[in-house]
A = this chain, B = another copy of it.
Amino acid sequence: MIWLRVLRQVIFVLVYNTHERDIYFSRHSTMSSIIHSLQWLSLFFLFTSICVSSLKIPRFGTFHRRNHQQHQTIFSSQLSKDLKTFYYMQRLDHFNYRPDSYTTFPQKYIINFKHWGGAKSNAPIFAYFGPEQQIPDDIYVGLLEDNAPKFNALVVYIEHRYYGKSTPFGSFEESMKNATTRGYFNSAQAIADYADVLLHIKQNLSAQHSPIIIFGGSYGGMLTSWFRLKYPHIAVGALASSAPILYFDGIAPRHGYFYVVTKDFKDTSESCYNTIRKSWHVIDRIAKKPNGLSILSKRFKTCKKLSTSSNLKNYLASIYTGVAQYNDPRENTLKVICDAIDGAANKTDVLGQILEGVVAYDWEKQPCYEMEGNEEPDETDIGWAWQTCSEIVMPIGIDKDDSLFQPEPFNMKEYINYCQEQYGVLPQPHWITTYYGGPDLKLNLERFASNIIFSNGLIDPYSSAGVLNSISDSIIALTTKNGSHCLDLGPEDPRDPHWLITQRNTEMEIIKGWIDKYQADLRNSTK
């Protein structure tokens, strides 16, 4: 088992939590839980692709919160009375008429009524599509909440089936118990759920002609763009933030993700990039020595003695990919780490330099670093592992010679075998492109479809499979050179760089155009 094999694909999405104001991270997003769940799940790759707050870099080892105590109080108390939680009795299987398809389960959704202009005003509905994560009771997604007052918009958050409280067979464990209960857990069912919930809300609020704008990031962004394609009669427009919809069936190159991470480091510092590249071989060489693991454990101040050098390499790789994906433009952690690595060049050896990078990254200096944890995987770990082993098959590998990482090409055959062994059913690597399209995207969509924004930060490794060029006047790609994963979905902050403010403003102006046009058409149609 090569080290990368134990890594795992994860695409989380940001869920802002009012108690912390900045960003909600559930337990699974801590590095230790990820690292530890790897051993449990023994899946192939880890892409720590949690959509990140624009306020701070995610801390994988431990989750630090700094200087936001004040915000916490304010937002928590403000929002708690504005958010209402509901449950919709959702149909288990939208595409089948077997008696068991009719089973229903409670699907959670939350509404913020505070800014709502009411049904008669045909005021818009901003709907956030829950990704592979629960929707907490005090959810707060910045872009929607910051802009709802200007639009008199109703804000709706809908939880994705199988996550959080929206489990079809009682508990999450029961729902994931076997191949039969897991079968209904896929994106086509999930967006059909969203369709049902949104029509239900419209009917309940007598808001038939309130235009719905849908928002999502990462996997949630895939869902919004796919939803706009499949259900244009329900959502007038979609913002798909950092949605790697081209990472299927060979459209985007397999090495794209790690190519961007590599480029990020190279652009930050050529010598830093070279040091990291060198470090893998140094680790390998030392690990081969009789007391190699002891030496490495000591050098890297691991809390427990390393049982394999892979755990160290996973830990380091996760820092590099995480920092690339979530680089905070206000702190530029990429640079912080590379400065530390480069700055130690004349004082220590390669491993010493790497350790300086770890220390700089984990700025609240640890007495020791936790690389072999023992936390159980949580719902997102387990759920997303299933999703990527059945439907969301993204062949991400490391093929390029000049990669920051050691080569590890994606092997579809091995992947399929692994998934079949793990879950008892074959993954369907061609289904996403059959159902949603992907190849020849411009050719197919330039005169079909409209009102989708694909936003991508080019620092984000997932941008390698994003839509980076506009397809038409209304299928618009917005890219930011220094943006990272889902940055635009975050809340406004006084420290936001100008280009981020511009990006969000542009998005909301485009969305305003969609809404205005819809409402003008509506007036004409009812004349």
Stretch at the interface among A290-298, A370-378, A439-447, A454-462: A439-447
A95 touches B97 (CB 8 A): no
A449 touches B446 (CB 8 A): no
How far is A522 from B446 in the complex, measured between Cα atoms in Å? 12
Q: Does A335 contact B (CB under 8 A)?
A: no
B232 touches A445 (CB 8 A): yes
With A440-B233, A443-B522, A446-B521 given, is the CB distance from A97 to B474 under 8 Å? Answer: no
For A225-244 the 0/1 string (1 means CB < 8 A from B) is: 00001111110000000000
B391 touches A97 (CB 8 A): yes
A179 touches B97 (CB 8 A): yes
Residues on B with C-beta less than 8 A from A96 are: 93, 95-96, 183-184, 186, 189
**Closest B-chain residue to A442, C-beta based?**
B525
Q: Does A99 contact B (CB under 8 A)?
A: yes
With A442-B525, A443-B522 given, is the CB distance from A99 to B233 under 8 Å? Answer: no
Q: Does A131 contact B (CB under 8 A)?
A: no
Stretch at the interface among A191-199, A319-327, A479-487: A191-199
Per a CB cutoff under 8 Å, which of B186, B446, B517 touches A95? B186
Per a CB cutoff under 8 Å, which of B97, B182, B189, B518 touches A390? B97
Q: Quote the shortest CB–CB distance from A108 to chain B (angstroms).
A: 20
Copies in the assembly, this chain: 2
Residues on B with C-beta less than 8 A from A437 are: 231-234
Residues on B with C-beta less than 8 A from A444 are: 232-233
Residues on B with C-beta less than 8 A from A199 are: 434
B435 touches A447 (CB 8 A): no
Stretch at the interface among A111-119, A133-141, A423-431: A423-431
Please name the 10 residue pairs, one residue from A and one from B, whose CB atoms are nearest each other, closest first.
A98-B183, A233-B437, A95-B95, A233-B444, A232-B448, A97-B183, A96-B183, A97-B390, A95-B188, A447-B450
**Closest B-chain residue to A192, C-beta based?**
B435
How far is A109 from B403 in the complex, measured between Cα atoms in Å? 47
With A232-B449, A434-B195, A449-B448 given, is the CB distance from A443 to B521 under 8 Å? Answer: yes
For A356-370 the 0/1 string (1 means CB < 8 A from B) is: 000000000000000
A448 touches B447 (CB 8 A): no
For A387-422 the 0/1 string (1 means CB < 8 A from B) is: 000110000000000000000000000000000000
A residues 192-215 touching B (CB-CB < 8 Å): 192, 195-196, 199, 209
A525 touches B180 (CB 8 A): no
The residue in A390, A425, A428, A447 that gathers the most chain B C-beta atoms within 10 A of its C-beta is: A447
Task: Identify 29 residue pairs between A and B in the complex whose beta-carbon atoms are under 8 Å apart, listed by A's number.
Answer: A94-B188, A95-B95, A95-B189, A96-B96, A96-B183, A96-B186, A96-B189, A97-B185, A97-B390, A97-B428, A101-B183, A102-B425, A195-B434, A195-B435, A199-B434, A231-B437, A232-B437, A232-B449, A233-B436, A233-B437, A233-B441, A233-B444, A440-B525, A443-B518, A446-B521, A447-B474, A448-B448, A448-B451, A449-B449
How far is A521 from B232 in the complex, measured between Cα atoms in Å? 24
How far is A434 from B91 in the complex, measured between Cα atoms in Å? 13
Q: Does A438 contact B (CB under 8 A)?
A: yes
How far is A93 from B431 in the complex, measured between Cα atoms in Å? 12
Q: Quote the shortest CB–CB distance from A441 to chain B (angstroms).
A: 8
How far is A232 from B192 in the complex, measured between Cα atoms in Å? 18
How far is A185 from B189 in the complex, measured between Cα atoms in Å? 17
How far is A195 from B199 in the complex, measured between Cα atoms in Å? 27
How far is A428 from B425 in the complex, measured between Cα atoms in Å? 30
A97 touches B182 (CB 8 A): yes
Residues on B with C-beta less than 8 A from A179 are: 97-99
With A437-B233, A449-B232, A521-B446 given, is the CB distance from A431 to B94 under 8 Å? Answer: yes
**Closest B-chain residue to A203, C-beta based?**
B430
How far is A517 from B101 in the complex, measured between Cα atoms in Å? 43
Per a CB cutoff under 8 Å, which of B180, B195, B446 touches A99? B180
Per a CB cutoff under 8 Å, which of B185, B426, B447 touches A451? B447
**Closest B-chain residue to A99, C-beta based?**
B179
**Closest B-chain residue to A438, C-beta based?**
B233
Residues on B with C-beta less than 8 A from A95 are: 93-96, 186, 188-189
A residues 320-338 touching B (CB-CB < 8 Å): none
Given A98-B180, A234-B437, A447-B451, 11 extra CB contacts under 8 A: A96-B189, A97-B183, A97-B186, A97-B391, A97-B428, A98-B182, A99-B425, A192-B434, A233-B436, A234-B434, A443-B525
**Closest B-chain residue to A441, C-beta based?**
B233
How far is A209 from B443 in the complex, measured between Cα atoms in Å? 10
**Closest B-chain residue to A427, C-beta based?**
B97
Residues on B with C-beta less than 8 A from A101 are: 183
